[in-house]
Structure formats: structure tokens, C-alpha cells
Structure 1
């Protein structure tokens, strides 16, 4: 009975985390707060809840949040289309990279043997963030470089450079922001968990 109760509590907690972090992804997208305008680039933080969910509760939870994030991206691009919506309505662009985020972030966090927890969290966050940026832009390149060149009025060569230029610039900036936010949030959650264990 006790084991069953623990399993039930774990599942309830995980579903709560999925719901809460998925809602944060959607709110960030709907309100526009998921994008930060920097002097040299506009970066997104919408993928960070996926990373946090994966590190806190494991890859399955992270993948569900990533699925919600990707699904919302498709709906958003159908409801409010822009120049690149032709790419983002494709699940291979919007969903596939987002469900890979938790796998790369969680396993890099778990498998790297470093005693410092914050460094491990930071590495997981950086790799997860790069998975999102590079994954999405690589799929756009593979599937839509011709169409991307057309809508941007570029040659194929210049379109290729533009796509990977964005991957380089945004990838680094988003990884830095992702590391800072994830370390803070996961560190705070882990501290609360430790205090609860002490009380029990």
C-alpha cells in the first residue's frame, strides 16, 4: 500500500509539473514575454521550462512539456502566421527538436561526473538550449532552405549563411540565458526538496 501511495504521489507530482511548466511555455508565447530583444539578436526563453522539467522530474516529463511546447508553436503559427510559419507548422520543425531537448539536457546532467551540482545543471541547460536552437534551424535548413531563401529574398548560399548565422548567435545567447535561469530555478527546487526530506 505504501509503495502504491508513493507511486501515486509521484505521478500526481509529475502531472502537476507537466501542466504548470507547459502553461508557462504557452503564456510566454502568447504574451511575447518568451522573447528577449538584445542589441544583437532576439532570443527565446520558451524552451527553458522543458529543460527545467527534464532535470527536475526526468526525460519523460520533459518530453511531455516539449510536446506541448511544439504543439503550441504549430497552433500559434496557424492562427497568427508570419514569414516563417510555413516551416513551423511542420511537426519536424516545431515538435521534433522540442522533444529532443529533455533527452539531451537530462542525460548530460546525469552522466557528467562533476560533484558541483550547479555546474552539472548548467551543462544540462546549455546542451538542452543548443538542442532547441540548432535543432529547429537545422530542420528549417534541411526541409525549407529554398523557400527560406525565397521569402527572405536571398540566394541559397546567403540563406544558408543566414540560417547558421542565427544558429551561432542565438545558440550562444540562449544557452547563456538558459543556464542562468535553470541553475536558479532548479537550485531553488532542489533546496526545497532537501528541506522536505529533513522534515520527514
Structure 2
């Protein structure tokens, strides 16, 4: 009897955690909290629920939450456009890297058992994935949209990666470590 009940509780818990993190992602994506303007670019904290989902519930949950993040990136590009929003209309830029956060964060955590390492790798997956796709698909157009020399697109994108990426990693390590520790304590109770 107990094992049957335990089997039925696990999917419910996973569903609740997924719903909670999806709700947080939707809230962040629907408000200025999720996409923080820094000039024409936007820093983000929307990768945090993806990483937390990867650590707490695995890669499939995290990929789903990453999909929400990516879709909201596209919605932001339409609803609150900047001069560089055109790049976020492409799902290869806006969605794919956000879904990959869940995979890299999960496998990093599985190998290291470190929420800080998972947060770092997940955040870098977002930053490098998005900016790498921008460079590969739109490098010169992106630089031109920012009024920069098209021949220096790589340096421009590397500068954005540094400016946005380092603070995003620091915030991710602090928040993900604290939240996952709290969730694990609750889970044991």
C-alpha cells in the first residue's frame, strides 16, 4: 500500500514544483523584473527558475521552463522592442539556448552535486548560447543596429557577454544556492 501511495505522490510533487517554477517564469516574463533594461540590451533573471527546476526535478521539467523563458523573450521582442529586438524573433536565438539551460544545469549538478556550479554553467549556457547565436546569425546586423562598426561585432558581443554575464552568474549562484537549499529542507520535512 505504501509503495503505491509513494509512487502516486512523486508525480504530484513534480507537477507542483513545475507549476510553481512555471508561474514564477510567467510572472518574471510579464513584468520588468524578468528582463532588466541595460541600454538597448536586457539583463535577465529568468534563467533562475530553469536552473532551480533542473536541480530539483530534472532536465525535462527544466526544458519546459526554459521554453517558457524563450517564448517570453520573443513576446518581449514584440511588445517592448528595442533596436536589437529583431534577433529575438528567431527561436534559434530566443528559445533554443533557454531550453538548453536545463540540460547543462542538470548534468552539471548531477556530476558535481553543487548548486553553485550548476547555476554558473546554466547561466553561461544562456549567455553564450544567446550571444553566440546572435553572432552567428546576425553579427553585422546586430552591430549596425547598435551603431557600431560591423567588422567589430565579435568584440561588441563579447563586451555585452562580460557586462551582462558576470552579474547574471553572481546573482544565479546566490539565488539558486539559497533557493535549492531551502527547497531541499522542505522536501525532507
Give your verdict on TM over 0.5: yes
The answer to whether the aligner puts 1:192 opposite 2:186 as a matched pair is yes
The answer to whether the aligner puts 1:176 opposite 2:179 as a matched pair is no
Runs of 4+ displaced beyond 3 Å? 1-8, 35-38
Instruction: State the SS of the aligned residue for 1:33.
Output: coil
Superposed displacement of residue 4, structure 1: 5.0
- Where does residue 48 of structure 1 map in the other structure? 48
- Where does residue 198 of structure 1 map in the other structure? none
Distance change >3 Å, CA 81–CA 37, structure 1 → 2: closer
Instruction: State the SS of the aligned residue for 2:147.
Output: coil
The one-character-per-residue Cα deviations of 1:3-52 (angstroms, maximum 9, x if unpaired) are 554343222222222222122122123221124579xx963211101000
- Where does residue 80 of structure 1 map in the other structure? 80
Instruction: State the SS of the aligned residue for 1:43.
Output: strand
Aligned residues: 187
The answer to whether the aligner puts 1:143 opposite 2:137 as a matched pair is yes
- Where does residue 64 of structure 2 map in the other structure? 64
- Which of 121, 126, 133 matches 1:132? 126
Gaps of 5+ in 2: none
Distance change >3 Å, CA 77–CA 35, structure 1 → 2: closer
The one-character-per-residue Cα deviations of 1:109-166 (angstroms, maximum 9, x if unpaired) are 1112xxxx6xx11001111011111111110110011211221122223322111111
- Where does residue 146 of structure 2 map in the other structure? 152
Deviates more, 1:144-153 or 1:91-100: 144-153
Instruction: State the SS of the aligned residue for 1:12.
Output: helix
RMSD: 2.1
Q: For residues 3 and 135 of structure 2, what CA distance do their matches in structure 1 show?
A: 49
- Where does residue 95 of structure 1 map in the other structure? 95
Superposed displacement of residue 193, structure 1: 1.4
- Where does residue 165 of structure 1 map in the other structure? 159
Q: For residues 44 and 185 of structure 1, what CA distance do their matches in structure 2 show?
A: 17
Superposed displacement of residue 80, structure 1: 2.8
Instruction: Give the TM-score taking structure 1 as reference length.
Output: 0.85
Instruction: Give the TM-score taking structure 2 as reference length.
Output: 0.89
